[in-house]
Structure formats: structure tokens, C-alpha cells
Amino acid sequence: MSDKVTKTDAQWREQMTADEYHVCREKGTERAFTGAYWDHWEPGQYHCTGCGEPLFDAETKFDAGCGWPSFNAPLKDGVVDEHEDLSFGMRRVEVTCHKCGCHLGHVFPDGPAPTGQRYCINSLSIKHDQDT
């Protein structure tokens, strides 16, 4: 049995707000400095809005000055997938939840040590859980 979450478009729309659906299922992007977590520094973990899978730990979050939550690494190997994104005339690497395919944001090679990575994530794609 696969650990992948599969839902119909109608099920995703019922589960998510219109803004969450736009970002998570239609690969949208929230405006910089508007999301709930760009300036949020509480301990805990950040879970996928689509399926609840734990994706990032607050200990890896840093202020990249870009207006989106930024992390230098996923919580563990295999929880996010990376895909080439050539939209808008740019060459980027899209990041999605491995379990449900939710669009999270993009990863860039300009983050801090030890990874050098900046996972630039939409607040609408994640939910903070302080109890984890």
C-alpha cells in the first residue's frame, strides 16, 4: 500500500481555503511579507497543509530577508520532492510534499551553513505545531 495521499480536486477544495488551494494545488505564491510564518519564531515543527506530514523544524528556520519562511533543510530525507520549474522564464527548483504533492515553494543554493540551502516556503502550504 502506498503512503501517498490521493484526493479528487473537489476533496482538496473542500479541505482547503481558496488561498490554500491556489498555492498548494495550483502552484501559486503568496505575496512576500504577508504570510503567517514569515516572521514567526516559535519552536516546533511545520506540517504540510494538505496532508499534515511533518516537513520542517523551527530549529532550521532562518531570516532570509525575502518575506517567506525559509529553512536550511527539511525535517528528514524524503519528506519533500524537488522538480525543475521553468515557469515565468526562470530556472528554479520547485519543492513539493512527497506524501501529497502539495506545492510548498522553491529551494535555492544561497542559504546558510551547514547545508547552503534556502527552502523558501509559502506560509499557506504549512501549519505550525508547537507541540512537536
Is 66 annotated as ligand-binding? Answer: no
In-domain check, residue 3: no
Please state the length of the chain. Answer: 132
Residue 11's SS3 state is helix
In-domain check, residue 73: yes
**Domain around 34:** 9-129
In-domain check, residue 114: yes
Residue 58's φ and ψ, nearest 5 degrees, are -60, -25
Average the pLDDT over each of 14-18, 41-45, 82-86, 101-105 and give the range with the smallest value. Answer: 82-86
Task: Give first-to-last CA distance, the chain, whole Å.
Answer: 27
Looking at residue 6, its pLDDT comes to 86
Is 97 annotated as ligand-binding? Answer: yes
Q: CATH number of the domain that 70 lies in?
A: 2.170.150.20
Determine which one of 24, 66, 102, 120 is catalytic.
120
In-domain check, residue 86: yes
Is 24 annotated as ligand-binding? Answer: no
**How many domains in the chain?**
1
Helix or strand (DSSP H, E) at 6:
none
pTM score, two decimals? Answer: 0.92
For residue range 48-91, list pLDDT tens digits in order: 999 999 999 999 999 999 999 999 999 999 999 999 887 878 78
For the chain, the average pLDDT equals: 94
Best CA proximity match to 55, nearest among 9, 101, 114: 101
In-domain check, residue 111: yes
Residue 83 and residue 41: Cα distance in Å, rounded? Answer: 28
Looking at residue 49, its pLDDT comes to 97
The model's confidence at residue 21, banded by pLDDT at 50, 70 and 90, is very high
pLDDT exceeds cutoff 50 at 5: yes
pLDDT exceeds cutoff 50 at 1: no
In-domain check, residue 4: no
Active site residue 102: no
In-domain check, residue 110: yes
In-domain check, residue 83: yes
The model's confidence at residue 2, banded by pLDDT at 50, 70 and 90, is low
Between the alpha carbon of residue 65 and those of residues 38, 109, 119, the distances in Å are 9, 15, 13
Residue 78 and residue 91: Cα distance in Å, rounded? Answer: 23
pLDDT exceeds cutoff 50 at 26: yes
In the block, which residue shows the cell 482547503?
Answer: 16
